[in-house]
Structure 1
Amino acid sequence: MKAIKAGHSYQINAHPIHKPLQQQKVNKGQFKTAFELQLQQTLIHSDVKFSQHARTRMEERGIEMNQDLIQKINQGVSKAQTKGAKESLFLIDNHAFVVSVKNQTVITAMERDELQDQMVTNIDSAVLL
């Protein structure tokens, strides 16, 4: 697995875990998965945003977002901002996130064990929470 910068997004090449998606119809014929609906509700009181790429990776990898994890990411963004970081790798519990500190946006997400023998590029800092 290698991190590749594509535009302003990061892409982690890994074998996706395919799970059946439950969908719910929303306005104008769009569909949202149960995962997206749960994430959206969890993020209501959050400063941090999640890119579509990060949302997809979280769903594929079964990473469930909760208020504790959101709070840790928000704290990490604040700490990284005070140090002048721009793009950081956040290691939180068993998860790893590449975060655009400037935009307060999670760019991609993975399980921490996926980092074994791999390299994450285009970051200027790491935050261990």
Structure 2
Amino acid sequence: MNNKINPIHQPLPLNPKPVTKNEAPTKSFKSFLEQASQDIKVSKHAQQRLNERSIQIDEQKWQQITSKMNEAKQKGVTDSVIVLRDAVLVASTKNNTIITAMDRNEAEDQLVTNVNGTIILQD
């Protein structure tokens, strides 16, 4: 009687799959993170307020807001008030999110707390 345990050998494939080089440039995780951090999110509450108060903000103004929020974020601002010609937005620069929106006339009688930065955008 033979008490040896013999290993089972797996045969190598005869035609190994060739490694193909991906021609499309791949974005790094860092670039995805930077892109995601630059996009502004509008909360459901803020979107509702924008609609209720008929506040219209064009694409160019959103780009300005995005730029200034990123600048404020780099300076350590976490929550800010953004003053526009016709509206006032309360934003979390830390999370790149617009929290709420008010008409400029309505905002004259409001008190905004827990804010450590103000962004004023003139046309």
TM-score tier by shorter-chain length is 0.5 to 0.7
What is the match of residue 108 of structure 1? 100
Partner of 2:56: 64
TM-score by length of 2: 0.64
Does the CA-based 8 Å contact 1:72-1:92 persist in structure 2? no
Q: Given the alignment of the two structures, is residue 79 of structure 1 paired with residue 55 of structure 2, yes or no? A: no
Instruction: Return the TM-score normalized by structure 1.
Output: 0.61
Task: Quote the RMSD (CA, aligned, Å).
Answer: 1.3
Unaligned runs of 5+ in 2: 1-37
Moved >2 Å (runs of 4+): none
The 1-side partners of 2:54 and 2:109 are apart by: 21
1:68 and 1:95 map into 2 onto residues whose CA distance is 15
Matched, 1:55 2:86: no
Residue equivalent to 2:113? 121
Q: Distance in 2 between matches of 1:109 and 1:117?
A: 14
Structure whose residues are more often strand by fraction: 1
Alignment of 1:15-30 (within 5 A): none
Query: C-alpha separation between the residues in 2 aligned to 1:109 and 1:79?
Result: 21
Q: Tell me the CA shift for residue 125 of structure 1.
A: 1.1
Q: Secondary structure of 2:57's partner?
A: coil
For structure 1, the residue ranges without an aligned partner over 5 or more in a row are 1-45
Cα distance between partner residues in 2 of 1:77 and 1:125: 10
SS across alignment from 1:64: coil
Residue identity opposite 1:99 in structure 2:
A
Secondary structure in structure 2 of the residue aligned to 1:53: helix
Comparing 51-60 with 106-115, greater Cα deviation is found at 106-115
Q: For 1:4-19, list aligned pairs within 5 A.
A: none
Tell me how many residue pairs correspond in the alignment: 84
User: Does the Cα contact within 8 Å between 1:91 and 1:126 map onto a contact in 2?
Assistant: yes
The residue number in structure 1 matching 2:32 is none
